[in-house]
Amino acid sequence: MPEPKQPEKLIDDKGVRIDGRRLDQLRPIKLEVGLLDKADGSAYIEQGKNKILVGVYGPREAHPKHIALPDRAVLRCRYRMAPFSVDERKNPAPSRREMELSKVIRESLESVVLTDLYPRTTIDVFIEVLQSDGGSRCAGITAASLALADAGIPMRELVAACAVGKIQGHMALDLSDAEDKYGEADLPVAWVPNANLVTLLQMDGILTINEFEKGLTMALDACKTIHSMQQEALKKKYLVIKEVAEEREETEVVA
Amino acid sequence: MSFTPQLPPVAKLEQKTVIDLVASGKRIDDRTADSYRPLQIQVGLIEKANGSAQVSLGKSKVLVGVKVETGTPFPDTPDEGVLTVNAELGPLASPLFETGPPSEQAIELARVIDRGIRESKAVDMKSLVLLKGKKVQVVFVDIYILDHDGNLIDAASIAALAALASAKLLKAELKGDEVVYRPGLHPLPLNNHPVAVTFAKVGKTIVVDPVLEEEQVMNARLTVTIEKNGNICAMQKGGLSGFTQDELKTVVHLAVQKAAENRAKILAAAKG
């Protein structure tokens, strides 16, 4: 697929972005939990054109054994982009970018997983970006923490993530692919709401100190919104299961 | 695949001492929370490189060599030169480092340094074009860690900037299809001077320039790279936990001040 041309303006005269959003507006987000059969936990996220599938396995026996830790579970994470997920085919060999992102995503999740309950095991998080549209590491984290919860792994809370950036001199929430590419800065953030900790923070581009502070506040507000969407997505799956179980119980009593 | 690293046993034993010291306003090497270890910068040690700098930050030692060669530009930037940053965390620098393909730590280090140089547009990429879309000059920044006693990011950032700022190259021209070099050296054109400042959260306290012992027990790490006008041009959080919003605000302001102090030292050393 040829790359789309650079848009003339990222924000029009009325302050509307190329996809019709306001500066502080998220893209539509769709979350689904538990759609894979074999994985212990799974989640799927669509955010704009991002389509990301996450599978979680574990706690399971550590392989290779020497990576096991005596006092806690090892958290393992792989962020990967499918070759067809971007305009120009991505070489399937792991890139330096993917290796860096796997690391920062793992570090964004470590503090919420109660790893000390499962010494000598691994908990594996596989993030597969099927289609990428800017902000994929954040969408990946949002889905990964849902998949961990779906796997029944004890966690302090869910991690929510969202990026902000600067386009045409304005701080804007949740940059799309084109905005990220032709914008001036990108600031992905992951947040653990109750602990009040920012567990992923990266930045590239140029931001003044004030812009950074404003952007961080915007990102954290968006993380709050995403956090409640995550809770809804989990409830949606497990309340249905609860209803089914209750119905079954009732029919058994009648019989 | 990225996995939780193992903490060396000694670090585990020292953990409490290091955290208690920091909590009481002291540090294991007798510094205040907002001070750097002694910084030494030497440029031009490697004659065969276009630019080079060796930096000692306390006992951490980093050597950076800059080489400029002719190559082809990336298809999406036909009117710009190429910048490549690589980091080598060899086994001579620490018992924690092994031979083999670059570790995720090495990749992260190189990418954070790369981000600072690239996003601040430090190297004048347009001036490196010989023939648009066909031939450009490629700037290689190779980071060599010689001794690892913590905060490799800042040591490497300082060394990279010193090496770039002191780099000299021959004037390259295109004659027909061939690249010819005219005699006489000129400096590598730099438009900006990015400097990384790294903080560690040890217990509940934030310290700048963490020494290895602090790095091993820290909850989280944050690097803020500041360009010459005092704006942020790159950031990277590391470590297993995180920072509060208020902590981030404090840290960013301190980064601007520390970056300015180190930048002055780097540019003075590069001038020689």
* Closest CA in chain A for residue B106: A100
Tell if the CB–CB gap between A96 and B111 is shorter than 8 Å: yes
Q: Which H or E element spans position B154?
A: helix B152-165
The reported pLDDT for the residue numbered B90 is 95
Tell if the CB–CB gap between A198 and B249 is shorter than 8 Å: no
The reported pLDDT for the residue numbered A255 is 63
The reported pLDDT for the residue numbered A249 is 83
Give B187's strand partners: B168
Q: What is the mean pLDDT of residues B43-62?
A: 97
A214 CB-near residues (< 8 Å, 6+ apart): A171
| pLDDT band (50, 70, 90) for residue B10 | confident
Are A198 and B242 a contacting pair, CB within 8 Å?
yes
The reported pLDDT for the residue numbered A180 is 95
Give B57's strand partners: B39, B60
Q: How far is B139 from chain A (nearest CA, A)?
A: 19
Tell if the CB–CB gap between A100 and B107 is shorter than 8 Å: yes
ipTM above 0.90, yes or no: yes
| Mean pLDDT, chain A, integer | 95
pLDDT by residue (tens digit) across A112-171?
Answer: 999 999 999 999 999 999 999 999 999 999 999 999 999 999 999 999 999 999 999 999
Tell if the CB–CB gap between A205 and B252 is shorter than 8 Å: no
In chain A, % of residues over pLDDT 90: 87
The reported pLDDT for the residue numbered A103 is 98
In 10 A of CB A248, how many CB atoms? 10
Chain A interface, mutation test: which of B118, B232, B252, most A Cβ atoms within 10 Å? B232
B4 interfacial to chain A (CB closer than 8 Å): yes
Residues in chain A with CB shorter than 8 Å from the CB of B220 are: 199
The reported pLDDT for the residue numbered A2 is 67
The reported pLDDT for the residue numbered A248 is 85
Q: A3 pLDDT exceeds 80?
A: no
| Complete domains list, chain B, with CATH | 9-271 (3.30.230.70)
pLDDT by residue (tens digit) across A221-249?
Answer: 999 999 999 999 999 988 887 788 888 88
Tell if the CB–CB gap between B252 and A212 is shorter than 8 Å: yes
Q: What is the mean pLDDT of residues B89-114?
A: 96
Q: B173 pLDDT exceeds 80?
A: yes
pLDDT by residue (tens digit) across B249-258?
Answer: 999 999 999 9
| Complete domains list, chain A, with CATH | 29-254 (3.30.230.70)
Tell if the CB–CB gap between A77 and B6 is shorter than 8 Å: no
Q: How far is A220 from chain B (nearest CA, A)?
A: 9
